[in-house]
Amino acid sequence: MGFTSHMQAALSEARAAAARGEVPVGAAVVAPSGRVVARAGNRTRELCDPTAHAEILALRAACAAAGSERLPGHALYVTLEPCAMCAAAIAAARIERLVFGASDPKSGGVLHGARVFTHPQAHHAPEVLDGIGADEAQQLLRAFFAARRAP
């Protein structure tokens, strides 16, 4: 199972989020064995919860399944660059590798803005791979926001 196949799990969660009327971002957590142990899409509207980003929901589910607040050796795949909140949660969970798709100059907190993992306060920085499945992730977002702007 390569980067692309795990990103497909995240992308399918992003598509499902769009179908629910949520901003199409999806995430998947992969165990050291290579198994996808949690996957989630944005549910901020459905749950009336500004913290219900795909990454947070996937981390919560993976931690609950592992019975631990930390996920050493795990990878998190997400279709969009995580925001500062999610990046902080990824660091707290001790995720070993973060793989994301589209970069997000507006709200991202990894390559942009707070740059959480290179901040002096970062206790843990995962290996970061970006641009995996970026075109498809970007297309989903573009289509979603174009449809919302239409009369």
Nearer to Zn ion, 75 or 83 (CB): 83
- The C-alpha angle with vertex 101 and arms to 136 and 13, in degrees rounded to 5, equals 65
Cβ–Cβ < 8 Å for 100, 78? yes
CA atoms within 13 A on the CB side of 78: 27
Nearer to Zn ion, 21 or 34 (CB): 21
The response to whether 53 counts as a known ligand-binding position is yes
Applying CB under 5 A, the residues found at the interface with Zn ion are: 53, 83, 86
Nearer to Zn ion, 29 or 83 (CB): 83
Catalytic site includes residue 55:
yes
In whole angstroms, give the CA distance from residue 14 to residue 12: 5
Choosing from 55, 69, 81, 96, which is the catalytic residue? 55
Chain position whose Cβ is nearest to Zn ion: 86
Residue 22, number of CB atoms within 10 A of its CB: 21
Question: Which residues are part of the catalytic machinery?
Answer: 55
- Binding-site residues sit at 53, 83, 86
